[in-house]
Structure 1
Amino acid sequence: MKFQILLSLWSFVAGICMAITNDNLLQRSRKNSDNIIELTDGNYQKILGTGRNAWIMVFLTSSSPQIGCATCIEAADEYKLLAKSWFKDHPDGVSTAGEEETSLFFAISDLKGSKIPEIFTFYGLEHVPRFFLFAPGGNIREYETIDLMNNGGMERVLGLAGSIKKIANIPDFNIYQPMNWSLIITTAFITFGISYLFKRHYELTTKLLSMRPLWALVWTLFVILMLGGYMFNLIRGSQLAGVGKDGDLIYFLPGQSSSQFKIETQITGVIYSGLAAAIVGLVLAVPRLKSYYKGSGKSTIVEVGSSAIFAIVVYTFFAGLTSIYEIKQPGYPYPLTKISSLFK
C-alpha cells in the first residue's frame, strides 16, 4: 500500500517537473521572427506529450522540391500570417477575453530534404499539409484535425482562425493582413507622374494618350502579364520562391505545371515581353529601317544586320521559354539549344 502511494506521489511530482510551461513555449516561439516553434526529432514529444496548459497548433508540411507540394508552399505564408496576427494582439500567447485564460502557440515540422521527420512517422502521415490542434493536458495522441480549405490566401487564413476560435473557445482571434507597400508606393508614383505630366505638359500628354500604338503596347503588356500567371499568383497567394534541400533558392517549381512561385510569373513575363518585342521588331522595324536607308549603300547591311539581331533575340527568348517548359514538365520533347552552350 505504501509502495503504491509512493509510486503515485513520484508520478505526480515527475509530471510536474517534466511539464512544459507557457513561459518555456513563449521562449521557444520568440526564437523565430514568425513566432512559430520548430518541431524536431528531439523536442516534439516533450512539447506535445508532456503536461502543459496551452493549446498548440501544429503545421506538418514539406518544402522539399522532391515532394513538389504547391499547397504546402502556399499554406506556409498563410500559417505565418496566422501566427503573427495572434501574437500581435497577444504578445505573451495568452487570451483573457473568454471565461478563462486561454494560451495558444504555433509549431511546425517541415520535411525539407530526403530525411523524414520522426513526427511524420509517429502520426503515420501519407500526405501533407496537415493541421493538428492539440488541447491542453499533454496527450500526444489526442488532437483535432483542421481541414484545409481549397481556396488559398486570406480566405484560408480566416478559415483556420475560425476553426481555432471554435475549438479552443477563443473569441478574440483577429487576422491582420499585411500592408502591401509596394502597391501603395507604385500607385502613388504613377499618380504623381501622371498629374505632373498633365500639369506641365498638357498638350504633349494628351497627344501621347491619343496614340493608338501606345495603347496597343499597353494592352499587349497587360495580356503578357496575364499569360505569365499574375492573376493566378494574386488569387492563390503563391510564395515568392522556394528553398532547395541544400538551402539554395529555387525559382521554378519543378514538375508542377499547374502551380508556380511568384518569381516564375516575373521571369515568364519578361520572356514573353522580350519575345513579343523582338517579333514586332522583326516584322515592323526591319522594313522601316530598310526604307529609311533606301538608296544608300548601307541599306542591305542594315536590313541583314537588324534581321539577324532580331532573329537571334527571338531564338534566345524562345529557348528560355522551352527551358521553363522542361523544368515544369519533365520529358518536354521540343527543347531548343541555348546559345550560351555553343561557347562552352
Structure 2
Amino acid sequence: MLPSGKMFQNVLFLFILFLGPSNAQRNEEALLSEKVGQMMEWATKHSVIRMNGDMFEHLVMASPRNYSVVILFTALRPQRQCKFCRQAADELQVLANSWRYSSTFTNNVFFATMDVDEASDVFKILNLNSATTFLHFPSKGKPSQADSFDPQVRGYKAEQLAGWVADRTNVHIHVVRHPNYARTVLLVFFLAVICGLAYLQGHNFEFLFKKNFWAICALGFVLLMTSGQMWNHIRGATYVYKNPKTGHLRYIHPGTRAQFVAETHIVGLCNAAVTIGIVVLCEAATSDLEFGKRKLMCLAGISLVILFFGGLLSVFTVKYRH
C-alpha cells in the first residue's frame, strides 16, 4: 500500500493530466495568437490590409479566429476605370485610420481590401457581381445578409460605414478626417493676387488702418467659427441629406455630433442677423438721429433679434430631440 503522501501526488498528477489543456488546444491557441499578431502587425503599418486569396483563406475563412474583418472587394487597377472604387477605398482608409489611431484601438476588428484582379477566385466563391462591396466576416459563424454593405445603395462615406460597423461588431469608431487646405490655399492666393493688382494700380490702402474694417473681419471670423463651417470643412460633410426612398431633403442633421453644410449656413445666417440686430439697437440708442428714425431702428433691431434667435432655438431643439 502506497504512503498517503505518494498517493496524493499520484492523484494530483492524474487530475492535472485529465483536466489540463490538451496538445490540440495548445496548438489552437498558438495558431490564434500567431494570426492575431500577424494582423496587428499589418494593421499597425497599414490601417487597411491588402489581402490576396491565400491570406483570405488563412486569416479570414480558417479557424480559429476571434476577430472580425471588414473587407472591401474592389477593382482599383487603372484599366478598370472604376472611379467609384477609388472613392469607396478612400473612405475605407479614413475609417480605418480613425480606428487605428483612436485610443480604443483593439484587435476586435480589422479592415482590408481585395482586388478582383488579384483574387478572382474569391470573388467567384462568394458570388460577388459588384466590384464595390463591403463584407463583414464575424469572429464566429458565417456572414449573414446584414453583413453585406453595398455603397452604391447605402452610400460610401466613412460615417455611414462606421454606423454599419457598429451594428455588426459593437465597435464604435469616431471618424476623424484630415484637414483639407486646398480651398484655403486658393482663397489666400486669390486675395494675394487682388492685393498685388491693387498695389500696382496705386490704389489707396488706408482702409487697412480703419477700426471698422478689422471689426468686420473679426466679426466675420467669429460667425464662421460659431456656425461650424470650419468643422465641416475638415470632416468633408455633405451639403444636405436626400432620402433615397422618398427624395425628401433634410437640411438639419438629426444629431448633436454632426451637421450638414446647409445647416452651418442657416446657423451662420441666424447668428449674423442677431448680431446686426444688436448693432442696430446700440446705434439707435447712441446716435444723434431724429427720434422717429431711432424708433424705426429700434423696432428693426428687436425684430431681427427675436426672429432669428428663435430660428437658432428651433435648430437646436430639432437636434436635441434626437
Q: What TM-score do you get using the length of structure 2 for normalisation?
A: 0.49
Q: What TM-score do you get using the length of structure 1 for normalisation?
A: 0.46
More contact order relative to length (CA 8 Å, sep ≥ 6):
1
Highest Rg: 1 or 2?
2
